[in-house]
Amino acid sequence: MRILRRLLVMMVMATAAQAQIRLPSLPLPGLPLQNLPQTLDQTESGSLDHLSDLRHQEIRRLIRSNRRTVDTDPNGEPVVRSEILALSVADGPLAQAQTRGFVVDRAQTIAAANIRLIVFKAPANLSTAKALRELRDWDRNGQYDYNHIYSGGGAVSADQAQAVPTTQAALPAEPARPRVRVGLLDTGIDVTHPVFHDSLVHTWGCGDTRIPSAHGTAVASLLVAHASAELYAADVYCGTPIGGAVDAIVAAFGWMVQEHVSVINVSLVGPKNLLLEQVVSALIARGHVIVAAVGNDGPAAPPLYPAAYANVVGVTAVDAQRRVLIEAERGPQVMFAALGADLKAANLDHGYAGVRGTSFAAPTVAALLAPALPTPNKDAAQAAIEALAKQAIDLGPPGKDFTYGFGLVGADSR
């Protein structure tokens, strides 16, 4: 029995690792998600500490395969090699940086939020870490950080699911309902999948090329499952090893602001980044709602972002028996729980596949908040979150807790 438990825990950890990092050149094998243990009493608690370690093992694999473009920060988190981000840098420090050999490679601007993000290329003789230290030393009042790379927060089964009628999987939208505007920041989606037939989908990113991916397609299908949607889907990956970097995320947020998209689903996870935090804070102050998966590094792991930033709506995942997934993170960042296992979502074969992870719980919360927010409005956003909290089914200790937040939402929509 002990051996079986250890085997099942290893399967969970492998799935969680797959959930947290994307490896275009080294895909991980799929696992039978329906056979995974779901609760802490089905595992050995010490084994759960390794969930985060496995994510970092996958990060190291990513780096080994892409050494010319991917580096790490001092904590082992992936960053774009030789790139440093600067937020609203003053003219003097900007000129000084260029004099010292830094090159302004590109910039992202969100005029409505007074945000200008600059991407510096470091001089060839400086490591990424040393380049960041030098910029911070020269400009004590500036805001500089790595161009961190973020990953998905859920696993899609590699098993090929048979195509099924849209009434039997992924809860396709009901066309009779008015369309709800909602945003998705993720990988590319397969807009030709039948699940999107009754939704209006706007895409952004990768120039004029669409690069569908399993993660984004699955999350998007769950978003439209709860509402006949006008979906704004931004691809921040575009099939590259450095996909999911902060500057791409900021550019996608800029598009959402331009299109007045109020509720934005972000099923991505990664480390704390000073500049991304400032951008998220600015959007929330303008009345946008950022809904984010809390991640799958395990109950004792440090918080992952953007879910753990202040005022972001962090979402954890439960199974069909309303038990929190053993790999789901815990902490004050958890605001709501939703179904994130024992369900199927659209795959790239125009069929449906099993999914598991906090990535697939977040879209339920985003879809439930979106109808109350046709346009960004700070007061309306707060009211919508409070109203959803009152509807939540309290699953843990009375009141908000670190495991389920305010409780389970979306249970009546399935």
Count of domains in the chain?
A: 3
Residue 71 lies in a domain: no
Contacts of 207 (CB under 8 A, 6+ apart): none
Q: Which of 148, 170, 196 corresponds to the end of one domain?
A: 148
**Residues 165 and 118 occupy one common structural domain:** no
Contacts of 320 (CB under 8 A, 6+ apart): 339, 341, 342, 343
Look at residue 251 and tell me whether its pLDDT is greater than 90.
yes
Q: Which of 148, 178, 194 corresponds to the end of one domain?
A: 148
**Residues 312 and 384 occupy one common structural domain:** yes
**Residues 201 and 174 occupy one common structural domain:** yes
**Residues 260 and 379 occupy one common structural domain:** yes
Single-letter residue type at 273: N
Distances (CA, A) of 2 to 47, 151, 335: 12, 32, 35
Q: How far apart are CA 260 and CA 191, in angstroms?
A: 22
| Residue 113 DSSP SS3 | helix
Residues 373-401 have pLDDT tens digits of 999 999 999 999 999 999 999 999 999 99
**Backbone φ, ψ for residue 223 (5° rounding):** -65, -45
**Residues 98 and 199 occupy one common structural domain:** no
Residue 73 lies in a domain: no
CATH number of the domain encompassing residue 397:
3.40.50.200
**Residues 227 and 335 occupy one common structural domain:** yes
**Residues 106 and 230 occupy one common structural domain:** no
Q: Which helix (H) or strand (E) holds 156?
A: strand 155-156
Contacts of 239 (CB under 8 A, 6+ apart): 24, 188, 206, 211, 213
Residue 70 lies in a domain: no
Are the C-beta atoms of 211 and 205 separated by less than 8 Å?
Answer: no
Q: Which of 24, 39, 65 corresponds to the end of one domain?
A: 65
Q: How far apart are CA 151 and CA 55, in angstroms?
A: 10
pLDDT of 52 reads: 60
Are the C-beta atoms of 188 and 235 separated by less than 8 Å?
Answer: yes
Residue 216 lies in a domain: yes
Are the C-beta atoms of 337 and 87 separated by less than 8 Å?
Answer: no
**Residues 275 and 224 occupy one common structural domain:** yes
**Residues 119 and 231 occupy one common structural domain:** no
**Residues 86 and 224 occupy one common structural domain:** no
Residue 283 lies in a domain: yes
Check residues 34 and 315 and name the one with the higher pLDDT: 315
Residue 338 lies in a domain: yes
Residues 173-209 have pLDDT tens digits of 444 557 899 999 999 999 999 999 989 999 999 987 8
Q: How far apart are CA 163 and CA 27, in angstroms?
A: 23
Residues 72-87 have pLDDT tens digits of 999 989 999 999 999 9
* pTM as predicted: 0.85
**Cα 326 from chain centre:** 19
Residue 72 lies in a domain: no
Residues 114-170 have pLDDT tens digits of 999 999 999 999 999 999 999 999 999 999 999 999 987 666 665 443 333 333 344
**Residues 184 and 123 occupy one common structural domain:** no
Residue 133 lies in a domain: yes
| Residue 388 DSSP SS3 | helix
CATH number of the domain encompassing residue 126:
3.30.70
pLDDT of 226 reads: 67
Domain containing 35: what range?
2-65
**Residues 175 and 305 occupy one common structural domain:** yes
Q: Is 261 exposed, middle or buried, given 0-12, 13-18 or 19+ CB atoms closer than 10 A?
A: buried
pLDDT of 350 reads: 96
